[in-house]
Amino acid sequence: MNRFRLKMLLKGNSFSTFRNYSQYLALISLHFKRLPTALTQEEIENYLYLALQQFHTPSETYFKHTIFSLRFAFKIEGNDQMRILLPSIKYPKKLPVVLSKTEVTNMLNKPRQFKHRILIALLYGCGLRCFEVRNIQISDIDFHRSVLHVRQGKGRKDRYMPLGIFLCENLKYYIELYKPKTWLFPGSNSKSASEFDRNYSLRGIQWAIHDAVKLCGIKKNVSVHTLRHSFATHLLEDGLDILSIKELLGHARIENTLVYLHVAQIDKKNKCSPIDNLQGVNISMGLQRSIDFGMDD
């Protein structure tokens, strides 16, 4: 397990990924009472079949992460044959749930606490992931440049997100009102809590979103990530190009961003030639005179 942890961290995976994978390796080890890398192909397939019977689809979390963790374990042991023999993951072609602009407006106005309103505003206004908004520190906000420094997002990548006038004004008011010291959204003040645990908890953010959805009477299956989907879709509908949206979301692959083309309600009625949008063009100027002098082909 120490070797597994070392290899994952050297590869650049986060500690949470290591913890997640190690849990699934532990489960299969306890099931057979042997190391997972000592199992035969038949034993692994029987175990995965049990997962399929329980979850009915190979895309469910338990099945998927068991395969991912086994792949990595076989890789660090140099057993490429077993790694290749593991079944592939079939991803369902599901479109993301997206809120309308009216629904987002209601979610921003309905929560009782201003803290929850600011939280929702940042998740939507900057298209942040849940762990990204949890890890915002006061020092990450640059009011002079009107940008938010998102540190160590998915894939350990930093990026800057534009805040705009609305978020800057309300963030200043929030900081003045709540006076956070380190984390923008502080959590537990317990001395026994680690530095990481002193920011807002995952469950706290999930509860704030679910409470806002309930207050608004929204019937869609809304999660924290739904606000990120809505951010990307609304930008696309407002005319921003897909490559710029990819950079704002911090996607490594354009394929992950292209899904929003299928959900965005882009007006297709007013299609025109791009020449219609050129300024100062008048190719008919002087045409009659050319014809009169026999110069037209």
Note if 260 is an active site residue: yes
Give the integer Cα–Cα distance in Å for 165 and 241: 22
Note if 228 is an active site residue: yes
Catalytic residue among 5, 7, 149, 225: 225
Catalytic residue among 64, 110, 129, 246: 129
Give the integer Cα–Cα distance in Å for 243 and 233: 13
Q: Could you confirm whether domain 2-85 is CATH 1.10.150? A: yes
- Chain region(s) in the chain for CATH 1.10.150: 2-85
Catalytic residue among 7, 83, 154, 198: 154
Provide the whole-model pTM: 0.69
Classify domain 101-262 by CATH architecture.
Answer: Orthogonal Bundle (1.10)
Those residues with Cβ within 8 angstroms of residue 101's Cβ, 6 or more apart along the chain or in another chain = 234
Note if 225 is an active site residue: yes
Encode pLDDT of 172-201 as tens digits. Answer: 999 999 999 899 998 765 444 444 446 788
- Chain region(s) in the chain for CATH 1.10.443.10: 101-262
Element containing residue 205 per DSSP (H, E)? helix 202-216
Catalytic residue among 31, 83, 159, 251: 251
pLDDT band at 264 (very low <50, low <70, confident <90, very high): confident
Phi-psi region of 223 (alpha: psi -120 to 50; beta: other; left: phi over 0): beta
Measure the CA angle with vertex 106, ends 101 and 111; round to 5°. Answer: 140
Give burial (CB, 10 Å; 0-12/13-18/19+) of 68: middle
Q: Could you tell me the CA-to-CA distances from 176 to 114, 147, 150, 161 in Å, in that order? A: 12, 18, 22, 22
In SS3 terms, 238-253 reads as CCCCHHHHHHHHCCCC
30-34, 197-201, 234-238: the lowest-pLDDT one? 197-201
Catalytic residue among 64, 110, 115, 228: 228
Measure the CA angle with vertex 217, ends 163 and 177; round to 5°. Answer: 40
Encode pLDDT of 86-140 as tens digits. Answer: 887 766 677 889 999 999 999 999 999 999 999 999 999 999 999 899 999 999 9
Note if 203 is an active site residue: no
Q: Could you tell me the CA-to-CA distances from 127 to 5, 86, 163, 177, 235 in Å, in that order? A: 31, 35, 11, 24, 10
Task: Answer yes or no: is pLDDT of 16 > 60.
Answer: yes
